[in-house]
Chain A
Amino acid sequence: MSNIKYIIGSFADPDELMHGIDKLQANNISIYDCFTPMPIHGIEAKLGVRPSRLPIAAFCFGLLGGTLGFSLLYYTMAYDWPMNIGGKPALPLPDFVPVTFECTILITALGMVATFFYRNHLFPGRAPRVMDLRATDDRFVIAVDANDNTDHEKIEDLLKEAGAVEVKYNERKYVSYE
């Protein structure tokens, strides 16, 4: 049993990375993940990653924000302590629009970003789980689980054929850990 945990194919070009994914998939080799310095459009479809449900979360947070904002206004202006301001109504709906709107936007933005950070485990101080340090610079990386896919030579050949400039055998999952 070798100590190799992951096989890392690093490409210099995003199109070659896509080509590499095709080749691996055609040979029934499962891909663990890809790491790229920029978003690659169309890669989710290829890897079968489901569309993000963040828009739904954002919408719910928007509803929450709008409700909270309006409730605050209603409670303070019309319920808790209605004031006579120049004889105007205590529940002036048009005047409530700006603050309700701002609350909606604020809660939508904060809630959605918080959900994004929570789901992707992003927070200040989290140890970066990086498999190839150049994946945030100029390398487009395919990671293959070496235990699930045992024919390592074939994987290397396929990656090289697709244009990988380097194939690494990582004994540690994340090279960024010190």
Chain B
Amino acid sequence: MSSHNESILREPLVTGKDITYAKVTDDILLPVENKPNKAWWIGFTMAALGALLWVVSVSYTFWTGIGAWGLNKTVGWAWDITDFVWWVGIGHAGTLISAVLLLFRQNWRNSINRSAEAMTIFAVICAATYVVAHMGRPWLAYWIFPLPNQFGSLWVNFNSPLVWDAFAISTYFTVSLVFWYCGLLPDIASVRDRAAGLKRRIYSILSFGWNGSVKTWQRFEIVSLILAGISTPLVLSVHTIVSMDFATSVIPGWHTTIFPPYFVAGAIFSGFAMVQTLLLVMRKVLNFENYITMFHIESMNKIIMVTGSIVGIAYLTELFIAWYSGSEYEMYAFANRIAGPYAWAYWAMMTCNVISPQLFWFKKIRTSIPISWVLSIVVNIGMWFERFVIIVTSLHRDYIPSSWAMFYPTWTDVGIFVGSIGLFFTLFLLFLRFLPGIAIAEVKLLLKSASLQQKTKLVKEGHLDPEHVEFFRNSLSKYDSVSEEDIKELETK
């Protein structure tokens, strides 16, 4: 039942006074139903310029071939695969939030899942472009799929993790897109029923004729639950397979069994950091402070801290195993990472990924919006360096010292990377402009159980343990969207 009273000890997920169902719709649809503000235009212009840079760099790569990049015969993978793994990793948080947190019935996912899923889809689009580009002849990219062909019926080699990767990434993209779009249907219908004219027609087509009848909702919930159930192993498999691109090779520093869990933890780590980067800006610019509250921010920071610690342990385990294995190549690979020519990248990774998330042990830090935002960017820088370190430092000095070489990026490498960030933000800003950035229907579900308004009402009715009320009141002090007066109101006589 929607009126089921949640324990007063739980912090509210929706704050603000006089929040009604209508107000939720109004607030969330504000950026969709009105002309975008200045902040959106500034962001969009910058992002679009970045996307333009991406188009130029990718076109140049396609025109001249991957000789446009700084690769050489020793370092055959560098920024391309670094960026690919980075983007795929970022994509993981969306599915994690929408699927895993749904299975664990974490209601705070309701107001962040939509934008996190959108982020997943855009990140996977960015990642996929690197896969296509690094093939050298992108017009033959379909050769990765087992299509009947005229070349003597040769099939792809299904023993290869690179083929698994093509299956994993394309499945992941498709399932994420379907999951995201199914969730969007009721909200698109909300836009449709409030709009007029051409806008109404367009949203009507997009809404698939959704009407919110009992049977529709019943099936919708089943579909969400099962999609969550199958997306959870899927998301784990995707980064596991990405890690196997490396782990099944014989390159020192790559050939380790720790890679799958280590990569998955790193993916969640960077994904949540990116969600944090985006949402902290989004809640401010679009006035979503009542829906994306300090509780959400703090919870995400806690996840960043946990996964950051897992990643830290993985780094140390790698070092230990390199020594314990007794393999001289393995030992050299790690000595080279720590003190070789790319040591600065290794230490940048260590600082950003292992030390900085530990700051979140302090409550002051994890409930501070500016610090959280800066740290979320630091984490993403660190995670980019992690992939760079794994890929380039292992390749540039492997078995034959006469083949040792350095990798230096060209402007095309930099252009594609910076450009892909522009592409990502362009897509994300367009999403915020045309589709509801928060799942309206799911936030409405929280209104009568987990909102501050409801909890205030419960307190006023009495019958609650004063100690619990006190605890609840204290937990509110960190919220930037709750005023002193709101807290005072909770004082029992």
Contacts and interface: CB of A to CB of B under 8 A. Distances in A.
Nearest to A43: B214
A85 B157 contact: yes
Contacts of B207: 128
A88 B441 contact: no
A127 B211 CA distance: 10
Nearest to B203: A128
Nearest to B176: A109
A135 B212 contact: yes
Contacts of B55: none
B484 to A, nearest CB: 30
A26 interface: no
Given A128-B192, A130-B193, A138-B21, A44 B214 contact: yes
B212 A106 contact: no
Contacts of B214: 33-34, 36, 40, 43-44, 47, 49
B218 interface: yes
Interface stretch (B233-241, B344-352, B368-376): B233-241
B212 A80 contact: no
B265 to A, nearest CB: 20
B331 interface: no
Given A122-B185, A128-B189, A138-B22, A35 B159 contact: no
B382 interface: no
Interface in B244-259: 244
A83 B159 CA distance: 11
Contacts of A83: 157
Interface string A76-117: 110011010100100010011011011101101110110011
Contacts of B448: 14-15
B171 to A, nearest CB: 4
Interface string B154-184: 1111110101100110010011001100100
Interface in B203-229: 204-223, 226-227
Contacts of B161: 98
B226 A55 contact: yes
B6 interface: no
A128 B20 contact: no
A14 B2 contact: yes
Nearest to B21: A138
Given A44-B218, A105-B233, A110-B174, A80 B153 contact: yes
Interface in B135-161: 146, 153-159, 161
B226 A37 contact: no
Contacts of B168: 98, 102
Contacts of A80: 153, 155
Nearest to B2: A14
B223 A99 contact: no
A167 interface: no
B1 A18 contact: yes
A36 B212 contact: yes
B193 A34 contact: no
Given A41-B1, A135-B211, A136-B193, A120 B186 contact: no
A71 B150 CA distance: 21
Nearest to A69: B167
Contacts of B453: none
B204 A128 contact: yes
A121 B186 contact: no
Interface of A: 12, 14-15, 18, 33-44, 47, 49, 51-52, 54-55, 58, 62, 72-73, 76-77, 80-81, 83, 85, 88, 92, 95-96, 98-99, 101-103, 105-106, 108-110, 112-113, 116-117, 119-131, 133-138, 176
14 contacts: A33-B214, A38-B441, A39-B221, A40-B214, A54-B222, A77-B155, A77-B159, A81-B155, A85-B157, A92-B159, A116-B223, A120-B216, A128-B204, A136-B190
A-B pairs, 10 with minimum CB distance: A126-B209, A138-B21, A76-B155, A138-B22, A122-B208, A98-B164, A39-B217, A38-B444, A38-B441, A102-B167
